[in-house]
Amino acid sequence: MRLDLLLIRRHPSMSRRKARDVIEKGQVSVDGRTVREPGGEVAESAAVAFDPNRRALPRARCTLAVLHEDEHVIVVDNPAGMLTVPSAPGVHDEDTALRRVQDYAHRLKPRGGYAERVHRLDRDTSGALAFALSREARAGLIETFRHHRIERAYLAIVEGEPAGESGQVDAPLREAWVSGRRGVAKPGEEQQPARTHWRVRERLPGAALLEVRLETGRQHQIRVHLAHVGLPILGDPVYGRPVHGRPLARRPMLHAFRLAFAHPVTGERIAAESPPPEDFQRALAALRRRPPG
């Protein structure tokens, strides 16, 4: 359940506002770890301790919605259109997810704030994105991602009708980019192995909502693989179908809804989920209203 609600259960005289306040001040620990996200999910059996005498930590809020946070790791809800990192080395004036998390980390710890990226999302993909808040955590998370010991699940609205209820695309991607595109490698081309699993969540007129899970994590992998099997992502200007008339979506309808992995320091399981954003929900609603055939 939510941490603030569990704290109130343990301290019935505490108001909801007071619970949120003391959690954000860093005066509450869960199983010995300081947790500062009132809405964070915790087990009802967790050891939750409130110490009013603990020195309050600086009050700061991240400008991105926080899905999980502890002293080593933060998972944020990254909006579509925001770069994960600067577009080129040495560029410092772009609004990126990394910059926002770094600003937040420095407000939390003015003398020792640290935040670095460990993976990325394509600019037009929304959803769960993790950053390390300590050097120790970054080293562990990089290893976790490198060896694919992570659960990454996406929602994708695709054009076309899947032949079955689930499937796998096992097709290496070429190393080279051609006119800003990746593609499935041809014999003799330099390539990277890539595997994508999908299953149908909902069938729609001329389209479908898929749940997609990555076994490998190559840039543009989902977009290339789904287009390769005749199920291009709705709104994808690079790998999708030509649009005639008013578009249902103005960016690829791909959303990273779940990110789960072992904590790089404690080993505890972290699972963060991001609800689909408004544009994704609007596209789904429009497809549900579309007449069949």
Which residues are the active-site residues?
Answer: 122
131 and 76 Cβ atoms separated by less than 8 Å:
yes
277 and 78 Cβ atoms separated by less than 8 Å:
no
Residue closest to 221 by CA, chosen among 242, 257, 252: 252
Give the HSE-up count for residue 248: Cα atoms under 13 Å, Cβ half-sphere. 25
Q: How far is CA 152 from CA 26, 137, 182, 191, 250, in A?
A: 30, 19, 21, 22, 24
How far is 33 from 42, CA to CA, in rounded Å?
A: 12
> Residue 105: which residues within 8 A CB-CB, separation 6 or more?
113, 114, 115, 133
